[in-house]
Amino acid sequence: MDIKEELKGKKIAVGLSGGVDSSVAALLLARAGYDVFALFMQNWHDVTGTLHGECEWEEDRKVAEMVARKIGIPFEFIDLSDTYRHRVVDYMFSEYSKGRTPNPDVLCNSEIKFDAFLKAARDLGADYVATGHYCRKDVT
């Protein structure tokens, strides 16, 4: 089956950070005529103990909203910060306390971007998810 036929009438959530890769993915899908909406995820909001300007998710959200508006697609926001804290940050600190050096990026991808984010997109009516990441994951 042709990919255009498979996606006909289906809704696609684009994980839009406002960066170049996800913005181009959203633009190309919208220009191709797909039913696309932008989905921005917040992974952190606790600025306790951070340096000034270290966690500027609000500015990132504004940029992503502007990109979605310019492309002409709806914009949705999800807060995954509690999930991120429980699945990634708590694990990272646990591993450090045991004298090990964890790689939180691996967990962020598997637990947040390609699990919690995917579930949130589906809850918002998405049949498919597109991102600016270079990953393929089939979910049945």
What domains sit in the chain, N to C, each tagged with a CATH number? 3-130 (3.40.50.620)
How far is Cα of residue 78 from the mean position of the Cα atoms in its chain?
9
Instruction: Return the DSSP state at 50.
Output: P
23-73, pLDDT tens digit by residue?
999 999 999 999 999 999 888 765 555 555 555 778 889 999 999 999 999
61-120, pLDDT tens digit by residue?
999 999 999 999 999 999 888 887 877 788 888 888 999 888 877 777 776 777 888 999
CB 7 within 8 A of CB 121: no
The one-letter amino acid at 132: G
**Residue partners of 84: CB distance under 8 A and separation at least 6:** 43, 44, 108, 112
CA dist 15 and 23 (Å) reads: 9
